[in-house]
Structure 1
Amino acid sequence: MHEPSGPKRIGEALDQVAYRLRAPRAQVLAAVFEAWEELVGTVMAAHASPVRLVDGELVVAVDDPAWATEMKFFSSDLIDRINAVAEQEAVSSLTVRVRPR
């Protein structure tokens, strides 16, 4: 017989859902989406935003092709910063898409 489990911490529950969706753990999502401005700076954050992170690929939307170029130039450093904040190799590649806001 299956025993009912007690309450879980929200992070654990989110991690279970994320795993089923092939998404990263809650800690990683927080590192990217909540700390975005700290990771990229105020100016870049005004023109670029994270869209999704699945299977190590971070998709970032920018509002102009010039910002796409800047983001691509900055991508290696950004991946390193995200992985340091997330305390794991959460992001392995970055894809930039131009989408007017």
Structure 2
Amino acid sequence: MSTPNDDDQRPGPAKRGPDLARDALNAARAQSAARKKTAAQNPQANPKGRRAGSAASLQRRRWSGSGPDARDPAPLGATMKRWLGDVGAGADLTKATVLGRWAEIVGPDIADHCEPVSLVDGELVLRAESTTWATVLRGMAPQIVARINKEVGHGSVLRVRAQGPSSPSWRFGPRHVSGRGPRDTYG
């Protein structure tokens, strides 16, 4: 007998570029909100036990010069890049940008025959519609990396790994025992 909750647990269709980008952006926002909440609950203590705004916590500079200083004005782009690095959302925003703008970045010719699956540690995994297209994508990997880095930012993608279409897997769960699997139970 089926309950209403059984339908909620069935896997839906595989998510594509814009849906993956939206999920990555929502995860980055949730992670940032959790980090801010944790920081508000546990303010960092001053290592010397002084109040943050007290005159005793300010260190006197021994010299002043005309060279660059941390107090100098900085371009907005550099400030935003440093802020994104501190918050830890830079990788998530890069992932959301690449997955969301995939067809726009690589063009319709390539986007019609493959889709991005993941972007982790600079490695972009593409799933091609056929093994032939996977081979073509492996040959075009340097051009694809250059085009993405030109559009999104230098160093966003370091390498591309192309996969062919996947066949159904009989492997479920994190543990696996080698052997014939379900084939020995048929007939």
Pick the aligned partner of 1:56 from 113, 122, 129. 122
Shift of 1:90: 1.4
Cα distance in 2, alignment partners of residues 66 and 50 from structure 1: 17
- In the other structure, the counterpart of 2:92 is 25
8 Å CA contact 1:31–1:82 kept in 2: the answer is no
- How many residues are matched? 84
Q: Letter of the aligned partner of 2:150 in structure 1? A: A
Structure 1, unmatched stretches of 5+, are 5-11
> Which of 1 and 2 has higher RCO (CA within 8 Å, sep 6+)?
1
Q: Letter of the aligned partner of 1:71 in structure 2? A: L
RMSD after superposition:
2.2
Structure with bigger gyration radius: 2
Please identify which structure carries the higher strand content: 1
2:186 corresponds to 1:96: no
- In the other structure, the counterpart of 1:77 is 143
Identity of aligned residues (%): 30
Cα distance in 1, alignment partners of residues 107 and 153 from structure 2: 20
Q: Letter of the aligned partner of 1:79 in structure 2? A: V
Question: Please, what TM-score do these two structures have when normalized by structure 1?
Answer: 0.69
Change (3 A) 1:30 1:85: farther
Structure 2, unmatched stretches of 5+, are 1-38, 42-83, 167-187
Q: Which runs of 4+ in 1 moved over 2 A?
A: none
